[in-house]
Structure 1
Amino acid sequence: MSFFLLRRTGGLVLTLLAISIVVFAVMNVLPGDPALTILGIDATDDARAALRVQLGLDDPAPVRYVQWIAGIARGDFGTSYSFGVPVAGLIAERLPLTLSLALSGTLLTLVIALAAGLYSASRHGRTGDWAVMILSQLGIAIPAFWLAILLVLLFAVNLRWFPPGGFPGWSDPLGSLRSLVLPTIALAAVQGAVLARVTRSSALEVMRLDFVRTARATGLSPARVLWRHVLPNALVPVITIVGMQFAGVVTGTIVIENVFYLPGLGRLIFQSIANRDIITVQALVLMVAAVVVLANFAVDVAYALIDPRLKARLA
């Protein structure tokens, strides 16, 4: 098990290093001049050249990359070109909102998937099963941003149950929770529909095994058999998909935050791209990529701990 963790950790570090190189290379070949964006078209050539020197943009690309990585190792992501403050401060200010939205979306995804998937599996071939499958197919087909717009029209504009957008701040807990309800539903609906089908398929496969038939023969209630025997053994593929979906939820917040005008990392990415704020975009893209890689790393470890066959081989 220790060798497994060491090998996975080494792969994690190498993957993050490769991602950092790709992110830096892509950001620095994009057209546009940050100095021109900051100073405007009326600035003189000398002023733009002086600003490029001040920002370190005149250094060779390898030098800037090493300086950037060395800064990240110290917790210094650089100074934002457009906001004029440390990028780490911007991230720390907006990260709680994005993380709260991603975690709530993942939690709701699990609730939807387990409830709908197990319900469908327990009624295989009957009306309830078909209803869940049709609804899940609709959920998969609807884009998250379009669903978000529909939720705003129905629950914010027509019914006025929730705010259409914006975020009042954590000083208003109730208002903050209300502002996150619709974005959370928009994030979880599509992911929950996918995971519900995976849960159903995995549960149906387990329900055909001998130990489940034995549990039924001993007189256990169907609900007890489903939750105590079927669900634990059906969780392995579900956990794998959840890990990958968490990465999708995090990246999905980028679009959802802009639909609902939430001041999180997703909106910061759009603002930084519009302002040609390379240093901020680099840090944010690297952070999102790191979340994706770490989520897959966590899935590998969880898979090894949950699956008794793999756990035995690694012992």
Structure 2
Amino acid sequence: MIRVILTRILATVPVLLGIAVVAFFLVRLIPGDTVNVLMGQDFSDPVLEAEMRAFFGLDQPLPVQFWDWFSALLQGDLGHSMRSGEPVTQEILRRFPITVELAIAALLISLTVSIPVGIYTARNRNKGADAAARVASLIGLSLPNFWLGILLIYLFSVYFGVLPSSGHRDFAFTWQHFQYLILPSVTLGLSLAAVTMRMTRSSMLEVLGQDYIRTARAKGLGERAVVLRHGLRNALIPVVTVLGIQTGALLGGTVVIEQVFSWPGLGSQLVQSIQDRDYPMVQGLTVFLAFFFVLVSLIVDIAYRYLDPRMYRRG
């Protein structure tokens, strides 16, 4: 197991380095830079503009800018924000728990809904509940996140007035905190649940038709034991893949939801940094999110080997 983990880690190093290179050059394809944004269109002072570009290092050739940033990155330094002057790492770590909070809540909602419904519909294939669940999952896949979020805001904030429409409070086990989390997490969780439910149902249908399931039933095991002990563990293998992809994508993919609900996480920070042409912040966020996605993929590989011991023999 240790050898496999080390191999996976070494294989991700060139991927992360490649992402860092791409992030550096792609963000500079956007017209304008930090100096243009700070000075605005109605103010022009060539001397001040030249001084500001020298201060930020934007007067240097692109290869020199890249080497300065990349060499610092290899030492674990993501640089300083051009907008706030704060270290990029500090800004990321300040907002990271806020995005993680939203991601975990969305995943819990997704799992709470999708796994039981997927198992139930697989056991009741082609019945009324199965048809209703498939229609609901199709609707969940079709609805854009931002539209669902706006609809929930209208229902629970504007019409009923029971939940706040936007904002965030520091984490605490109080209703005042969790009421700000409900709408954005439900919006994200329902979309994730639609995908996970369909995958769980499909995987369970395949597993429940296997010979070892029929053997377990022939031995006199109860249906609950057959489904949960013998069927679910094997059916979860492709589901874990989907959950891993969703978890990695959640951190960077909450951009729209964070904008709709004014949630001050990494997604909203990334959008603001792009608008400000804050190159170090955009590059740092991109590398950080890529690292997290790679970390989740490693965890999924380890989970595979727990759920399917045959993976040990495959190396």
Asked if these proteins are the same fold (TM beyond 0.5), I'd say yes
Residue equivalent to 1:177: 178
Residue equivalent to 2:59: 58
Tell me the SS of whatever aligns to 2:66: helix
Moved more, 189-198 or 220-229: 220-229
1:40 matched to 2:40? The reply is yes
| 1:13-28 pair list within 5 angstroms | 13-28=13-28
Residue equivalent to 2:212: 211
Residue equivalent to 2:275: 274
Contact 2:252 2:266 in 1 (8 A): no
Deviation (angstroms), 1:3: 4.1
Residue equivalent to 1:236: 237
Contact 2:213 2:226 in 1 (8 A): yes
1:120 matched to 2:105? The reply is no
Contact 2:106 2:185 in 1 (8 A): yes
Moved more, 188-197 or 301-310: 301-310
Contact 2:233 2:307 in 1 (8 A): no
Deviation (angstroms), 1:8: 1.7
**Structure 1 letter corresponding to 2:204:** A
Deviation track 1:144-201 (CA, whole Å, cap 9, x = no partner) reads 1111111111111112221100113236843221111111111111111111111111
Q: Percent identity?
A: 38
Contact 2:234 2:307 in 1 (8 A): no
Residue equivalent to 1:5: 5
Tell me the SS of whatever aligns to 2:197: helix
Deviation (angstroms), 1:2: 4.2
Contact 2:115 2:200 in 1 (8 A): yes
Contact 1:110 1:192 in 2 (8 A): yes
Q: Give the Cα separation in 2 of the matches to 1:89 and 1:5.
A: 29
Deviation (angstroms), 1:107: 2.2
Q: Give the Cα separation in 2 of the matches to 1:2 and 1:95.
A: 29
Deviation (angstroms), 1:43: 4.1
Deviation (angstroms), 1:49: 0.9
Q: Give the Cα separation in 1 of the matches to 2:57 and 2:195.
A: 46
Q: Give the Cα separation in 2 of the matches to 1:66 and 1:16.
A: 16
TM-score by length of 1: 0.93
**Structure 2 letter corresponding to 1:33:** D
**Structure 1 letter corresponding to 2:253:** G
Tell me the SS of whatever aligns to 2:28: helix
Structure 1: where are the runs of 5+ without partners?
none
Deviation track 1:81-139 (CA, whole Å, cap 9, x = no partner) reads 22232222221221111011112212222222211100111111211111111111111
Contact 1:79 1:85 in 2 (8 A): yes
Tell me the SS of whatever aligns to 2:121: helix
Residue equivalent to 2:137: 136
Q: Give the Cα separation in 2 of the matches to 1:268 and 1:2.
A: 36
Contact 1:112 1:192 in 2 (8 A): yes
Residue equivalent to 2:160: 159
TM-score by length of 2: 0.93
Deviation track 1:249-274 (CA, whole Å, cap 9, x = no partner) reads 22321110110011111111122122
Deviation track 1:234-255 (CA, whole Å, cap 9, x = no partner) reads 1111111111111232232111
Residue equivalent to 2:70: 69
Contact 1:120 1:128 in 2 (8 A): yes
Residue equivalent to 1:49: 50
Tell me the SS of whatever aligns to 1:29: coil
Residue equivalent to 2:247: 246
Tell me the SS of whatever aligns to 1:50: helix
Aligned length: 314
Moved more, 130-139 or 272-281: 272-281
**Large movers: runs of 4+ above 4 Å:** none
Q: Give the Cα separation in 1 of the matches to 2:122 and 2:147.
A: 29
Deviation track 1:4-29 (CA, whole Å, cap 9, x = no partner) reads 33332122111000000000010123
Tell me the SS of whatever aligns to 2:162: coil
Contact 1:12 1:297 in 2 (8 A): no
Root-mean-square deviation (Å): 1.8
Q: Give the Cα separation in 1 of the matches to 2:302 and 2:59.
A: 44
